[in-house]
Amino acid sequence: MSDVTQANLEALEVGQTAFVERTFDEAAVRAFAELSGDFNPVHLDADFAATTRFGRPIVHGLLTASLISTVVGTRLPGLGSIYVSQSLRFRAPVHVGDTVRAEAEVTEVQRQRRRVVLSTRCLVGDKVVITGEAVMWVPPATEEE
């Protein structure tokens, strides 16, 4: 993966941002269903999904939210950081074939506790589909030998 960064608490500042984008196709949704065991037909069966308020298959909410994990774990704060918590609010569906942009913005740096708080959200185009907040622990820098 390109654009990955090593977590560095000392370099973090309020207002920093990062993002990742991904298009979720049927294969990704099927793979997530296999891994998670969530075979809800609203995700996997076009005929069933057509009878719901969504009208067509939707991507699992947690598959969509996994992009937040990607951005905080590989970009900001980056490699080596560990989730402490993540809140999520699902605001709109993501349909199979949609491109999702996950964004994170540093809102607080707690240097004593080695934590960073980030505002998180996922969008499809201009539409916000998930909002939340992540708290990440950032490890100390390792000394180079």
Question: Residue 7's pLDDT band (boundaries 50, 70, 90)?
Answer: confident
Question: Residue 6's pLDDT band (boundaries 50, 70, 90)?
Answer: confident
The model's pTM:
0.91
Task: Please write the tens of the pLDDT for every residue from 82-97.
Answer: 999 999 999 999 999 9
Q: Tell me the average pLDDT across 24-47.
A: 97
Q: Tell me the average pLDDT across 121-130.
A: 98
Confidence check: pLDDT of 145 > 50: no
Is residue 17 within a helix (H) or strand (E), and if so which, with residue range? strand 17-23
User: Domains plus CATH for the chain?
Assistant: 14-137 (3.10.129.10)
- Give the CA radius of gyration of the chain: 17
